Amino acid sequence: MEVQPTSLNGVLLIQPRVFSDDRGWFMENWRREHYEAMGIPEPFVQTNSSHSSQGVIRGLHYQWPEPQGKLVWVSQGEVFDVAVDIRHDSPQFGQWVGVVLDAQAHQQLWIPPGFAHGFQVLSPTATFHYQCTAPYRREHDRAIDCGDSDIGVQWPLAIDGLSEKDQQAPTLGEISDSQLPSCASC
């Protein structure tokens, strides 16, 4: 397994080992001892999947006051995946990193608690998976405007296919510090 740090402290791009032969391939999606050795000690308590069409953006989402860490990957198609540091006291506050995840490369992205997350589907369709360190709580569900110019995410395709929640999401600057995580809380 190879691990690459990204430009945001704590966000990791992970390349699991894939074993291929003439029958196909096999890989471990997650093994606690290996991920703990990478500094991902959190237990996963919920796994989610979504299937979306080309151009759809899901995000930028976070949960507060019960933040979630997410290990994400794609099993079909290709997405542009984004993490944004939203810890109000972080030196990297408001900065983002984006990577392409696809079913052929089998890469994963670790997004620690304290980061917003979103993705845009680049292929005709994509199936996306999330392992989360905290359960989803509707009352803690939050979103940030994916087109927030102060964050400046460079989405590969036009912003399209947003849910009603995402269409009405505030910019990061419109959210008070009390509604955002801190470095100490994550």
DSSP β-ladder status, 108-111 and 115-121: unpaired
Provide the token pair at 136.
Answer: 């989803």
Candidate list 62, 88, 130, 136, residue with the active-site label: 130
pLDDT on residue 26: 79
> Is domain 2-18+30-172 classified as CATH 2.60.120.10?
yes
Candidate list 35, 61, 88, 106, residue with the active-site label: 61
Enclosing H/E stretch for 115: strand 115-121
Task: Tell me whether residue 61 is one of the annotated catalytic residues.
Answer: yes
Q: What pLDDT, in 10s, does the model give residues 86-130?
A: 999 999 999 999 999 999 999 999 999 999 999 999 999 999 999
Task: Tell me whether residue 130 is one of the annotated catalytic residues.
Answer: yes
pTM: 0.93
pLDDT on residue 184: 86
Handedness of CA 51, 55, 56, 60 (dihedral sign): positive
pLDDT of 54 strictly over 80: yes
Question: What burial letters (b/e) apply to 85-94, b meaning 16+ CB within 10 Å?
Answer: bbbbebebeb
d(CA 46, CA 184): 24
Enclosing H/E stretch for 167: helix 164-167
Q: What pLDDT, in 10s, does the model give residues 137-157?
A: 999 999 999 999 999 999 999
DSSP β-ladder status, 141-143 and 78-85: unpaired
pLDDT on residue 162: 94
Provide the token pair at 121.
Answer: 């589907």
d(CA 70, CA 109): 8
pLDDT on residue 127: 97
